[in-house]
Amino acid sequence: MPIELDELDRRILAELRRDGRASVSAVAAATHISRANAYTRVNRLIDSQVIKGFGARIDPVLSGQHSSAYVTLTLDQASWQDTRARLSQIPEVSHIALVGGDFDCILLVRARDNGDLRRVVLEELQSIPGVRSSKTALIFEDFETV
């Protein structure tokens, strides 16, 4: 059951987006609440799966992924579950979204280089039975806003 988020929850989430490694004490100080209240709030956000986990934000270029692209897919609608499962098995696919509009799905693909990106798009994605067509938009520069 979804929980109702208040302004304090949003401030806690903003602080954790800014620094996912922040201690509960640091979150409490940044949001001007007690450590006990911060601990309770963070645990409630974790238990309700508003917070799905903690991880590192990785620079794709510095980590060896020099080519990135958004790839849109037109799919056979009936095969979405199988297609999603296959897409999630491709290590270079770092984000998958089912969308409405001119295409059905958009992927963020990060690869070693253009040759590797070509392999992913033309061999791996096109070999999935539910994929009818794809379009690729190369990313020249990207940055996180959070």
Indicate whether this model's pTM tops 0.85.
no
Q: How far apart are the first and last CA of the chain?
A: 27
Domain ranges of the chain: 7-47, 67-139
Query: CB-hemisphere CA count at 13 Å for 143?
Result: 1
Other Cβ atoms within 10 Å of 73 Cβ, number: 23
Q: What is the pLDDT of residue 87?
A: 97
Pick the CATH number of 67-139 from 3.40.50.1370, 3.30.70.920, 3.40.50.720, 3.40.50.300: 3.30.70.920
pLDDT in tens, 82-122: 999 999 999 999 999 999 999 999 999 999 999 999 999 99
The CATH architecture to which 7-47 belongs is Orthogonal Bundle (1.10)
pLDDT above 70: percentage of residues in the chain: 99
Taking the C-alpha atoms of residue 117 and residue 91, their distance in angstroms, rounded to an integer, is: 12
